Amino acid sequence: MAMATATVRHSEDIEYAQLPENDRLQATGKKSRRLWPFLAAFSVLLVVGFIVVSREDAGKESLENQRQETSRQVGSPEVVRPISRGKSAGVSEKAVILGYGVSPYPWTNAMLAWQVTSYHFQPERNWMNDPNGPLYYKGWYHLFYQYNPDSAVWGNITWGHTVSKDLIHWLYLDLAMVRDQWYDINGVWTGSATLLPTGEIIMLYTGSTNESVQVQNLAIPADPSDPLLKDWVKYSGNPVLTPPQEILPKDFRDPTTAWLGSDGLWRLIIGSKINKTGISLVYKTSDFVNYKLVEGVLHAVPGTGMWECVDFYPVSLTENVGLDTSVNGPGVKHVLKASLDDNKHDYYAIGVYDEATETWLPDDPVNDVGIGLRYDYGKFYASKTFYDQVKQRRILWGWIGETDSEQADIQKGWASLQTIPRVVTYDTKSGTNLVQWPIEEVESLRTSNVSLDNIKVDPGSVVHVDINGAQLDVNAVFEVSKEAIKNTEADVLYNCSTSGGAAGRGVLGPFGLLVLAEESLSEQTAVYFYIAKGVDGNLQTFFCHDETRSSKATDLVERVYGSTVPVLSGEKLSVRILVDHSIVESFAQGGRTCITSRVYPTRAIYGPRLFLFNNASTSVTVTSLNIWQMTSALIHPFEQSS
Ligand code: DQQ
C-alpha cells in the first residue's frame, strides 16, 4: 500500500468550487447563497401545496427538466442547433452539433489523444452507439454494437463485434452484420440475442429497409461450433415482422431477448408509440419465424413518446442473483425499461408481469416507465441487459455518447463508449429501486492503493489527496454530524441542476470529491452529495455531478446532473467513482443512483488530481477513503492475440 497524504486547503487559500475566470459560474454560486434564507422561509409556506402537487407533477417535471438540460450549451445559452440527421432518419444519434455562435475549440492532438479510455470498451476508431445482442457462448462473452465503420458520426450502421473472457479485456472481431439486403440496406439496427434451451442462438434485429421502414429480421450463427460466432446468416424469409397497421413505419424497432411462457411459446416485446404514448408490443412465437401480435400492449405510458431499446426481465426479490429472462413465479418481479427518444434517457420501473393477460403494471404508478426512475442520471442511453449463465448475474450495458462537438469527434476519429458492465439486482433493502454495481472483474485492474480514514473536511475547504491519475477506482464514505442534521432548517426546493451545482452552499452540502482536477482547480469535475430536509424533518439526499468546470473548452455541453438517492436509517453516505480519462461513472449508496459524465479536460490532462471538498456550512468527515490506480485493459484486434 502506498503512503498516503492529504493536504488541506481552506477557503482563504482557494475558492475550490468556483473557477476564478468563470464569472458566469461565480454568479450562479453567489446568487444561490443570497437566495438561501429567502428560499428556506418561502419553502415552509409552500410545502403543504408542494407535497400535494409534486407527486402528480413528478413525471412532467422530470421530462421538462431534461428538455431544458438538453438545450443548454455552455458559452451560448441561445444556441440553435441543426436538426439531427438521425432523428430525421427515424432514430436517435449524437445530437451535439456546433450551433450558431459556438466556435470549434482548438483541440490539440495531446488533448484528443488523452480522451481515449483505458478500461472502458470502445472500438479502435469511428462511431459506436447502442450495445446489441450481448451473450455468453462457449467460453466467450460477446458484445455487438451499432457501428459506423467509415466515420466518427452516426450513419452506415452495421454490427461491430467484440469478444472477451472476462468482460474487461476485449478482442475486436470483424463486423458481424452489414447492411446488404433490401430489408436492412438503411441500417442493421438494434437487436437482442435469445439463447434457446437447446443451446441455439436466435438473433433478432431491426432493419431499416430500402424505403426506411422499420422491420424485424432474424439471423443465426453460420457455424454454431465456432465459439467466436464470427459469421452470421440472415434468414432467407426476412423480414419476420413488419409494422402492424396502427403503427407508423418508423416507429417499430429494437426487439428484446425472448422469454418462454408456461404455454411453451416464446414472447418478446418491441418498442413503439401511438401519438405521444410510448408503448411496448408483445409478440408470441414458437419458431422465431412466425409470430402472433398479442392484442393490446404489455404497457403504455402517455406523454413519453417513442420507446426505443425496450428491455424486460425478471429480478429476484429474495436472492442476490440474476435470473434467466424466462424465470417467473413467486419471489420474482419484472423490470420494464424504455429509452425515451424524446429526451434520450433510460427509464425503468419495477412491477408485476401477468402472463395470462400479457400485461405488466408498475408497483408505483407515480414512478412509471418514462416518468420515474432512471438507470443513470448522466449521459447514458439505449442500454441492454443479458443474463450471464456462468456467474448467475444480470449484466447491464449502456451507450455513453459524446458531449463534445461532432467536429471534435471527427478530429479525434472516434465517438462513444460503453459503460463498465454493471450487475443489476433488486434493492432488497429499499424495496423501491434497482442497484447497479461494476462487475467484480473490474477490480482485477486495481494497482496501487491509497487508504485513508477519518479526514475532517471543514466548511469551505478542499483536501488534496496524494494520488494522481486519469484511471482510478475511488471509494469514499462520508459522515455528517447528527447535531448538524438536527439543526438544519427545511430545504425542500433543492435540485441538482438548478441549485448552484458544486458552488452552491447549504448547511449540509454540497460535499464530495473533485476528480480530473487541475492543480489550481481551474478544471475539475465534482461528484457530490447534498442533504436537504423537509419540514416534516425527513431528510432527502441528492447525488449530483457538476461538469460545468470540467474543461476550458467552449464547444461542449456541460451539465449539472443528478437526482435523489435513498439513504436508509443507519447508513452512511457512500460513493464509488470510476475515472477513466474522458468518462466519470459514479455509483451512490451501493449503486442505487448512478451518474455518468463525459468530460474533456484541457489542462488537467497533465497530471489530473483528486480532492475532497466541502462547500457546506458544516463540516463533514470522510470516514474512509480507498482509491486504487487502475491499469489499462487489453483491448485490441483478435489477430494480435494469436
Ligand atoms: N439506435 C438504433 C435504433 C435504436 C436507436 C439505430 C437508439 O435501433 O432505436 O442506430 O439509440
Q: What does the alpha-carbon distance between residue 281 and residue 574 come to, in Å, rounded to a whole number?
A: 39
- Partnered with residue 471 across adjacent β-strands are 580
Return the DSSP state at 321. Answer: S
Q: What does the alpha-carbon distance between residue 397 and residue 382 come to, in Å, rounded to a whole number?
A: 9
Where b means 16+ CB within 10 Å and e means fewer, 272-296 reads bbeeebbbbbbbbbeebeebeebee
Number of the ligand 1 atom closest to the C-alpha atom of 399? 11
pLDDT at 130 over 90: yes
Q: What are 500-537's pLDDT values in tens digits?
A: 999 999 989 999 999 999 999 999 999 999 999 888 88
pLDDT at 497 over 60: yes
Separation of 202 CA from ligand 1 center, angstroms? 19
Separation of 498 CA from ligand 1 center, angstroms? 31
**The predicted structure's pLDDT at residue 485:** 86
Tell me if residue 111 falls in helix, strand or coil. helix
Over residues 355-384, mean pLDDT? 98
Side-chain-side CA neighbours of 150 within 13 Å: the count stands at 6
CA-CA-CA-CA torsion sign (8, 9, 15, 20): negative
188: amino acid identity, one letter: V
Q: Ligand 1 pocket: which residues have CB below 6 Å?
A: 91-92, 129-130, 146, 157, 189-190, 206, 253-254, 308-309, 382
Q: What are 282-339's pLDDT values in tens digits?
A: 999 999 999 999 999 999 999 999 999 999 999 999 999 999 999 999 999 999 999 9
pLDDT at 578 over 90: yes
Q: What does the alpha-carbon distance between residue 437 and residue 456 come to, in Å, rounded to a whole number?
A: 28
**The predicted structure's pLDDT at residue 484:** 86
- The pLDDT confidence band at residue 86, using thresholds 50, 70 and 90, is low
Alpha-carbon distances, residue 323 vs 319, 335, 342, 354 (angstroms): 10, 12, 31, 17
Number of the ligand 1 atom closest to the C-alpha atom of 214? 8
* Whether the Cβ atoms of residue 337 and residue 380 lie closer than 8 Å to each other: no
Which residue is associated with the grid cell 491509497? 450
Q: What are 204-249's pLDDT values in tens digits?
A: 999 999 999 999 999 999 999 999 999 999 999 999 999 999 999 9
Average pLDDT for the chain: 87
Separation of 461 CA from ligand 1 center, angstroms? 45
Q: What are 332-357's pLDDT values in tens digits?
A: 999 999 999 999 999 999 999 999 99
Alpha-carbon distances, residue 342 vs 57, 67, 175, 255, 402 (angstroms): 18, 8, 30, 19, 18
Higher pLDDT, 18 or 501: 501
**The predicted structure's pLDDT at residue 92:** 57
pLDDT at 435 over 60: yes
**The predicted structure's pLDDT at residue 31:** 28
**The predicted structure's pLDDT at residue 129:** 97
